[in-house]
Amino acid sequence: MKAAVFHENGGPEVLTVAEMPTPRPGPGEVRIRVAASSMNHLDLWMRRGLPFAIPMPHIGGSDIAGTVDELGPGADPSWLGKHVVVDPSLNYDWYRLARLANTRAAPLEIVGEHTQGGFAQYAVAPVANLMEVPEGVAAELAAAAALVGVTAWHGLMSRGRLRPGERVLVTGASGGVSTMAVQYARIAGAEVFAVTSSAANVRRVQELGAHHVFDRTACDWAREVYLATGKRGVDLCLDSVGEAIWPGLVRSLAVRGRLVTFGATTGATGKLDIRLLFWRQLSILGSTMGTPAEFRQAMNLVFAGRATPPLHSVLPLDEVRAAHELLEAGGVFGKIVIQP
């Protein structure tokens, strides 16, 4: 099969499109003829070299949508020929089991990071991770929504415990997770604040449903959020930006506000005023991916047309290097989708 692969870490130049062995499904798995797979920042980090090993040579792509074309031993035969999207979280129950005494659970893994992914003509996945894509929903949309949808839903609803009527701030609002978070927060009945860059992105985020959008390159966004909330601050912030904006985020939180972080695109060292932390009784929470049930909740809203992942571009597999360069350069609004 044809696949986008790298044999060593480095810049986009390490990526090649080459012939690789076509995978065969193992017990409880299926093989999928890939129709679409979308880019995430995770793909950049893996290519550059994460602080832990990934299988090499490596095929990235955590988001997979396509058609089941082969069954592994024990796989339910009713899946054969179905159009599916793959939940990218493997062993998510580790988060619950790891807290129990005398329990050794397999740790969380992610499709396309700890396993070979979807930037190829074929990929394998566990049957338990499949969700059927309804007729009329494009594979590009299903793939674009998978990882970012469950990440946004888990961060907002489970970790952040967002309630109707609350004020929520979404940072990096042009990114894949954040564009979904804006929509999910609006659906949940929140007043949505967002931070992005450029006047064009402000308009796009407003079209997604945000009530207040600030261009971080044109104003003191933390002050503007403070004023727009009547000098009360926001109840919840969902952040992927990290180091560059943490001082402003903490200042933007209301009394008993919650800061949920799921990424650190500008750096991993978050500075904050500890006095604000204890005086306002703030909470700082980490969030990663989401449960199988949350994946289905998030995707059902996409399938129902209530939330839609914005597509920045759809590129052929042969242009995966260009996709990496595009995402790395910034300026991408929403998702880049790869078609084999």
pLDDT tens digits for range 72-115: 999 999 999 999 999 999 999 888 888 776 677 788 999 999 99
Instruction: Provide mean pLDDT across the span 320-328.
Output: 96
CB 22 within 8 A of CB 338: no
Position 271 scores a pLDDT of 86
Higher pLDDT, 243 or 187: 187
Average pLDDT (170-195) is 97
- Beta-bridge partner residues of 19: 2
Spatial separation of the C-alpha atoms in residues 106 and 95, rounded to whole Å: 10
Instruction: Measure the CA–CA gap between 190 and 177, rounded to whole angstroms.
Output: 17
Contact 54, 47 (CB under 8 A): no
Alpha-carbon distance 62 to 76, whole Å? 23
Query: How far apart are the C-alpha atoms of 193 and 274, rounded to whole Å?
Result: 24
> Is residue 173's pLDDT more than 90?
yes
Summary mean pLDDT of the chain? 95
The reported pLDDT for the residue numbered 331 is 86
Q: Which domains does the chain have, with CATH numbers?
A: 2-145+290-339 (3.90.180.10), 161-286 (3.90.180.10)
Per DSSP, what are the bridge partners of residue 143?
Answer: none
pTM over 0.85: yes
